[in-house]
Structure 1
Amino acid sequence: MELVCIECGKARRPENLFPMSCECGGLLEVRHDFRRADAEKLRALFDSRLALRTGPYASGVWRYKELIDPEVEEAHIVTRGEGNTGLYDCAPAARYAGVRKVWLKAQGENPSGSFKDNGMTVAVSRGAAAGFRTLACASTGNTASSLAMYAAWAGLRCLVLVPPGGVADGKLAQTIAYGAEVYGIEGGYDIGVRLLNRYGEELGFYVCNSFNPFRIEGQKSIVIEAAHQLGWSLPDWIVLPGGALSNASALGKGLLEMKAIGLIDRVPRIAVVQAEGASPFHRMIASGGGELVPEPEPRTAASAIRIGNPPSWRKAARVLRECNGVTCAVSDGEIMAAKRVIDRSGIGCEPAAAAGLAGLKMLAEGGTIGRDETALVVLTGHLLKDADAIRMPVPGPALEPLAPDELLARLASVR
């Protein structure tokens, strides 16, 4: 196991955490040696851990430790029992998108309410093992609340940079409640990420944004767990929202590694869905370009993917090539329409999470995804992460206080 630059190929030991990007400016990724991996033994081992209720292997991330981080010592694992999220065969979502079957992977069921926990448990475990006392990140909300939760659990200091006015109240409240030090950053998320990448080591911070390669390893567990839940046979498509693009990078990496080991016999195609007002990656792919042009003022109601300069775009572009993937961009109206379908199915999600279903519908209507195909849509965050986005469908007067007799009469009239 080693850290390798995706641009120049330079490698180093994973204990050498800094700098978190290569001298050439390229991102680092964890490379495993799976040449001796035995798929049948791994399946049996993972099955045996399903019965555990306590300890690190009860986690839906660390259950797959051999594929995630085989070298970190168990004593250094910082876990809140993350993962173990539901995978739901959702007929209303399939009807809405116009495909044969849709599975919803509800990452909002994680301890802090988003998919960030899958990656954060690994990043924080590595930081704690290296002796860091201060963890840091820039965030549009979910990364901040996840990191703050793990820092509190591990007894570590947490420092968070957020775009003022650009974070949903629920996410900010979580972050503050867990005890993080929160600072506004002029210029927003993109500037915060660049600042921490440049000065984190100098300031003595262990930075847990998505350029931290161990975040990506943890997030692989989303698709590994889904494969396990489905008997190691995945749907035709994996569809997910695209913000910082760490999830696209991670899930693609996990799929390719499982195929190389023999845990799955084919690699599903990947579809990355961005919001129209924050879609620099989609624009690059659609135009056939090789360099991402940042969006200086990203705009979308889906705050979790309101990112104009995604740090993991090069990794995501490689994943699309290797997984025969596609991209699309959907409007805020399409996102909110898809959200209503997911909410009223009894599962629910924040707006950014609904972008996946909105994109699936668009791609099916355009013929990219066949009507008889199946898809797994990753719901990245919980319904209450951005409760302000919910609009009550009843008029204001219906919410006025009613006397008991009047209320009974009203109820009787609508039976």
Structure 2
Amino acid sequence: MKLHCNDCDKRYSLSDFKYGCSCGGLLEIEQDFSNVDSDYLKQKFEERLSERVTPYASGVWRYKEIIFPELEDRHMITKYEGNTGLYQAEKVNQYLGVQKIWLKCQSENPSGSFKDNGMVVAVSHGKSLGFNKFTCTSTGNTSSSLAMYSSLSNSQSYVFVPDKNISLNKVLQTVSYGAKVITFEGTYDDGIQFLEKYNNELGMYICNSINPFRIEGQKSIIFEIAQYFHWNLPDWIVVPGGALSNVSALGKGLRDLYDLGFIHKLPRVLLVQAEGASPFHQMIRNNESILKPEPHPRTIASALNIGNPPSWKKAKHTLNTTQGITISVTDEEILNAKAVIDQSGIGCEPASASTIAGLKKLYASGEIHPEETAVCILTGNLLKDTEVLQHYHLDDSKNSLFANPLFKSELIIDSIINL
């Protein structure tokens, strides 16, 4: 394993671990699969599905040989993350007007979001280097995941959170896990720049998406989907785009599976952003080569409220290699799609619902054919943004397409029967 910069093609040894290249580019893990026996690994991954109490019961460490083979078992932290459900829902099908859609519910992870898949590998790597202090800047899901794994490994986490346009639920979850939470005036992007600038002085292990081991862990999401489908992936993988770490990780996972011979064609990737925070979509739509940050991102989907996503170059590489496309959706479209997912008995945070909102627009326009299959990644739990639920169903129910308001009634049988 080596660290590789896609910008300048420079390589570093893992013993010289760093978050970014000297040229300013982000690094990623490069693995040599030339001597890997793919058939043997497939059998091993199947056998591990019966594990219950070892680290290999994890939906991440099940794939250790193609995620972090060099990590000693004694450094493997786990809360049996991954192993999340893949569902079909009739109400979602009706909303889209198609039948061949699956929902991959990363919301079922221990801290309630997809961040656990990457965070467990990052914290395990940090512990293997001797770190006991971990840090990140976050709009919510990253911080709660980091706080959980840090406490699980008897370490301390320090989390930097913007003081506006975030979910209080996620901050409270982070506080409850024992993190030291520092709120600051500014944006997510300001927090990332601070950590990068003062990394050496802080003496902490950074767990944001600039960390290449985060990406290695997150690619296990696509491994699980592929294994569920017996290594025959659907036509499309649909993913929300905030910091763009997830689309970067899934793209890397797809390339790994292809190089290993596990799959023989790459599905196309659809990346969905919120209109108020869509600098990457704007760049792709306008056929530009450089991302122009959005200085004042604003969307009700807090996990997408990022104006200068650090992983945009990796995300662009994913789109290039998968013939991927982007789209942006309004907050109203996100909330209506979320209501349909919630009322299907599955549930998700607003950012997750952008996948269904984006897919609906593309099916309606004919850009995606109704017979094409898709898996939508639902990134976070229903209860991550309860302020949004209150606004949609209670405060603004008259204007919400699928509102389900409270009913006040006396306990009289005729009143109850007629509800």
Fold-level similarity (TM above 0.5)? yes
Q: Which residue of 2 aligns with 1:279?
A: 278
| Matched residue SS, 1:94 | helix
- Cα distance in 1 for partners of 2:406, 2:276 equals 34
- Cα distance in 2 for partners of 1:315, 1:126 equals 21
**Which digits, 9 at most, give the CA deviation of each residue in 1:51-85, with x for residues without a partner?**
00011100000000011111111100111110000
Cα deviation, residue 100, structure 1: 3.7
Q: Which residue of 1 aligns with 2:100?
A: 101
Confirm whether residue 38 of structure 1 aligns to residue 34 of structure 2: no
Q: Which residue of 1 aligns with 2:393?
A: 392
Give yes or no for contact 1:242–1:248 (8 Å, CA) kept in 2. Answer: yes
Confirm whether residue 413 of structure 1 aligns to residue 418 of structure 2: yes
Give yes or no for contact 1:239–1:375 (8 Å, CA) kept in 2. Answer: yes
**Structure 2 matches for 1:14-413, cutoff 5 A?**
14-18=14-18, 20-390=19-389, 391-392=392-393, 399=406, 402-404=409-411, 406=412, 408-413=413-418
Confirm whether residue 3 of structure 1 aligns to residue 8 of structure 2: no
Identity %: 52
Q: How many pairs align?
A: 410
**Which digits, 9 at most, give the CA deviation of each residue in 1:19-68, with x for residues without a partner?**
x1111100000001011222211110000000000111000000000111
Cα deviation, residue 399, structure 1: 4.8
- Cα distance in 1 for partners of 2:409, 2:103 equals 39
Cα deviation, residue 375, structure 1: 0.3
After TM superposition, the score normalised by the length of structure 1 is 0.96
Give yes or no for contact 1:61–1:118 (8 Å, CA) kept in 2. Answer: yes
- Cα distance in 1 for partners of 2:34, 2:188 equals 39
Paired amino acid for 1:72? L
| Matched residue SS, 1:288 | coil
Paired amino acid for 1:6? N
Paired amino acid for 2:388? A
| Structure 1 portions without partners, runs of 5+ | none
- Cα distance in 1 for partners of 2:288, 2:139 equals 27
Paired amino acid for 1:71? E
**Which digits, 9 at most, give the CA deviation of each residue in 1:268-303, with x for residues without a partner?**
000000000000000000000000000000010000
Q: CA RMSD in A?
A: 1.5
- Cα distance in 1 for partners of 2:363, 2:231 equals 25
Give yes or no for contact 1:349–1:383 (8 Å, CA) kept in 2. Answer: yes
Give yes or no for contact 1:135–1:157 (8 Å, CA) kept in 2. Answer: yes
Give yes or no for contact 2:163–2:186 (8 Å, CA) kept in 1. Answer: no
- Cα distance in 1 for partners of 2:362, 2:335 equals 17
Paired amino acid for 1:11? R
Paired amino acid for 1:9? D
Paired amino acid for 2:418? S
Cα deviation, residue 123, structure 1: 0.3
| Structure 2 portions without partners, runs of 5+ | none
Paired amino acid for 1:268? P
After TM superposition, the score normalised by the length of structure 2 is 0.95
Give yes or no for contact 2:294–2:307 (8 Å, CA) kept in 1. Answer: yes
